[in-house]
Amino acid sequence: MKLLHFSDTHLGFSEYFKIDPDSGLNQREQDFYNAWHQVIDAIVAHRPDVVVHAGDLFHTPRPSNRAIRTALESIQKISDAGIPFIIVAGNHETPRIRTTGSIFESLALFPNVYAAYSGACERFRINDVDFYCIPHCSLTEEMDKAFATLKGTAKSQAKVFVSHGAWGGEYGMGEFNEQRLPDVEQLTRVHFDYIALGHYHRYVTVKENACYSGSTERTSLNEHNSTCGYLLVDLDSGERIYHDIATRPMIKLSIDCTDLTPRTIYDKVEEVATPAVREAIVQLVLKNIVDEAFLQLDVREIDAMFADAFYLDKQFLRITTEANRFLSHTKIESLPIEFERFLAALENKELDKQKLVQLGAHYLESD
C-alpha cells in the first residue's frame, strides 16, 4: 500500500494585513490556500491508495466559511476519485469546550473520509490495513484511555498509527495546549509499519518508522529554515520520499552593529538587501547597537532598501550603558519616526508592531 502523508495545513491562517490583488483575500491566507492546492494536485497526480492528514487542517476551531469551502471542495475531489482520506483533529481545530462541536463532524459525512476527532482512539480498516488514529485530546485522562485501547489491536496485513502532538515531549511548538505523545510502540508493545505524525512544522524522522511530514506553509519566522511539503510512503518496501512545495520564502538576517556608526549600519543593511528578499518575509536583526547610533537611524531608509520584500520585521537589540544614557534623550526626530523607534524597542512579541506603525503614521502625520 502507498500512502500520502501531510499535515498542519492551517487553512484560514492570516497575517500582515496585505491583500492579494487577484483574490482580494489576505495575502498570507491565500498563501496557505495555494500550498494546500499544491498538495491536492499532487494527490490527484500520484493517486496513492490512502491519504493521511495528521492534524491542524484548520487554524482555528471555528474556521471561516472561505476556509471551510476550500477544504470541502478539495476533499470532495479526493472522495470522488475514490481515494480514502484519513484525518485526525489537531490542537488548533479542537474546541476547548466539548459542547461546542467540531467541524470534523461535517467532514465525516463525505464518502471515503475517515475522521478522528472525539478524543478517543479510532480504528479504520482499508484494504486489510488498520489505521489507528488518536486526535488531539483535551484531557490527559482521555489520551491515556485512547492509548490503552491500542493494546488490543486486531490482526491485519499492516498497521499504521496516526496522531497529532509532541512526540516524546521533544517535538513541540511551544503552544500551551499541545499534546505530548509517548512512544506508542514502547508503551503498547505493538509494532506499527508506519507512524504518521502531525504538529511539528518540520519534516523529521523521529525513529525508523515514524515521521513528521512538517507543515505545508510556515506560521512563524522561527520556521524560516524549514521546507514545506508532503511524504509519499510505501508500506510494503518501507520507502519514504519527501516532496517539497513552493511557498513564500522566509529570511532571517542579522548584523552585528558593534562600534558601527549609523552610516556604516546603512551600508551593512544594503549589503544584505539582495534580490533574494523580493516577495519574502524578512526579519532584520540589528544587534549590539548603542543608543546613540539607534536614535540617529532613520528607519525609513532601512525600509526603502527592502521595498521589494513582502514584509520586513525589524529587530533592534540595543546596548544601553551609563555613558550613553543621557545621549538617548538628546536627539528627537519627527513623531512618526520616534513612535516607530519606541515600538521597535519594546520586547513584547505579541504586539502587531507593523499595524501600530501604520496606525501611528496615519494619526501623527494627519493635519
Are 104 and 122 in contact by the 8 Å Cβ rule? The answer is no
167 shares a domain with 266: no
Give residue 169's pLDDT.
Answer: 74
Distance CA 19, CA 27 (A): 5
C-alpha cell at 261: 556608526
**How buried is residue 150: exposed, middle or buried, by Cβ count under 10 Å (0-12/13-18/19+)?**
buried
Judged by average pLDDT, the poorest of 52-56, 66-70, 229-233, 324-328 is: 324-328
Are 318 and 328 in contact by the 8 Å Cβ rule? The answer is no
133 shares a domain with 19: yes
**What is the span of the domain harbouring residue 223?**
2-244
Give residue 346's pLDDT.
Answer: 74
Give residue 330's pLDDT.
Answer: 42
303 shares a domain with 231: no
Q: Is the pLDDT of residue 336 over 90?
A: no
Number of domains, the chain? 2
Domain boundary among 223, 244, 265: 244
98 shares a domain with 175: yes
Q: Per residue in 15-38, pLDDT tens?
A: 998 999 988 999 999 999 999 999
Give residue 329's pLDDT.
Answer: 44
113 shares a domain with 10: yes
266 shares a domain with 234: no
Q: Is the pLDDT of residue 305 over 80?
A: yes
Are 32 and 79 in contact by the 8 Å Cβ rule? The answer is no
316 shares a domain with 184: no
pTM of the model: 0.84
Q: Per residue in 34-59, pLDDT tens?
A: 999 999 999 999 999 999 999 999 99
Give residue 327's pLDDT.
Answer: 44
Give residue 5's pLDDT.
Answer: 99
Q: Is the pLDDT of residue 367 over 90?
A: no
338 shares a domain with 354: yes
206 shares a domain with 184: yes
269 shares a domain with 161: no
Neighbours of 72 (CB within 10 A): 16
Q: 126: helix, coil or strand?
A: strand
The CATH number of residue 126's host domain is 3.60.21.10
Q: Is the pLDDT of residue 312 over 70?
A: yes
